[in-house]
């Protein structure tokens, strides 16, 4: 394997880690949920504002590694304005991208989220990238008080 850290820490990820988008508590949020990764201590809270089943606004706060923060930042960008159904479908696609043995590597449909595809090669880090997604999923199906990756 050739050493290229850039596969994992692409510019997009470094940038979204340094200046995360949609960062901070959403004061008039309809729903919020905390996600926690006990292994590395990543702790994110996700806030959303729904209009019927459209995600009108979404934000997060908390702290974590570059992968989890950038993933949350990219996710909130991608989810704004989406319906909950669309959100669920992106969640599923993204999950397959990170964990399937032979994923459909047509990265076009992922837009900026494709920057996270490199995480595939770092199994111990997949939980970091998926923390925010599991949290969103838990928020939308309303069945959890908090989300833990363990």
Partner 1 sequence: MTADTPVKPYDIGKVREDFPVLHQEINDHPLVYLDNGATAQKPRQVIEVLDKYYREYNSNIHRGVHSLSEKATGEYEAARNKIKNFINAGSLQEVILTSGTTASINLVAQTYGRANLKPGDEILITEMEHHSNIVPWQILCEQTGASLKVVPINDKGELIMEEYQALLSDRTRLVAVVHISNALGTINPVKEIIDLAHAKEIPVLLDGAQAVPHCPVDVVALDCDFYCFSAHKLFGPTGTGVLYGKQALLEAMPPWQGGGDMIRTVRFNETTYNDLPYKFEAGTPHIAGVIGTGAAIDYVTAIGMENIAHYEADLLAYGSEALSHIDGLTQVGTAKNKAGIMSFVMDGIHPHDIGTILDQHGVAIRTGHHCAMPVMERYSIPATARASLALYNTRDDIDALVEALQNARKVFA
Binding mask 11-30 for partner 1 (x = CB under 8 A): ---x--xx------------
Rg (CA), the chain: 14
- Is 145 a binder of partner 1 (CB under 8 A)? no
Q: Least CB distance from residue 30 to partner 1, whole Å?
A: 28
- Is 9 a binder of partner 1 (CB under 8 A)? yes
Which has the closest alpha carbon to 126: 46, 22, 33, 39? Answer: 39
22: left (phi over 0), alpha (psi -120 to 50) or beta: left
Q: Least CB distance from residue 41 to partner 1, whole Å?
A: 3
Angle between helices 66-79 and 84-99 (to 10 degrees): 150
Q: Which of residues 67-126 bind partner 1 (CB under 8 A)?
A: 67, 122, 124-125
Q: Work out the burial of residue 142: count CB atoms within 10 Å of its CB; fewer than 13 is exposed, 13-18 middle, 19 or more buried.
A: exposed
Work out the angle at residue 77's Cα, subtended by the Cα atoms of residues 150 and 58, and round it to the nearest 5 degrees: 70
Binding mask 33-72 for partner 1 (x = CB under 8 A): ------xxxxx-------------------xxxxx-----
Q: Tell me whether residue 44 or residue 55 sits nearer to partner 1 (CB atom).
A: 44
Q: Tell me whether residue 29 or residue 66 sits nearer to partner 1 (CB atom).
A: 66
Q: How crowded is the C-beta side of 74, counted as CA atoms within 13 Å?
A: 29
Q: Least CB distance from residue 70 to partner 1, whole Å?
A: 10
Tell me how far apart the alpha carbons of residues 21 and 72 are, in angstroms, rounded to a whole number: 9
Applying CB under 8 A, the residues found at the interface with partner 1 are 1-3, 5-6, 8-9, 14, 17-18, 39-43, 63-67, 122, 124-125, 128
């Amino acid at each position: 394997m050739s050493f290229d850290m850039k596969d994992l820490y692409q510019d997009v990820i470094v940038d979204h880690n340094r200046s995360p988008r949609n960062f901070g508590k959403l004061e008039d949020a309809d729903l919020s949920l905390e996600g926690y990764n006990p292994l590395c201590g990543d702790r994110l809270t996700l806030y959303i504002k729904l209009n019927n089943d459209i995600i009108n606004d979404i934000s997060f706060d908390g702290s974590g590694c570059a992968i989890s923060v950038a993933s949350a930042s990219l996710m909130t960008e991608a989810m704004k304005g989406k319906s909950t159904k669309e959100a669920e479908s992106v969640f599923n696609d993204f999950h397959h991208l990170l964990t399937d043995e032979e994923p459909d590597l047509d990265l076009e449909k992922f837009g900026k989220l494709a920057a996270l595809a490199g995480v595939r090669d770092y199994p111990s880090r997949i939980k970091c990238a998926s923390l925010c997604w599991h949290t969103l999923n838990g928020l939308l199906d309303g069945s959890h008080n908090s989300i833990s990756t363990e």
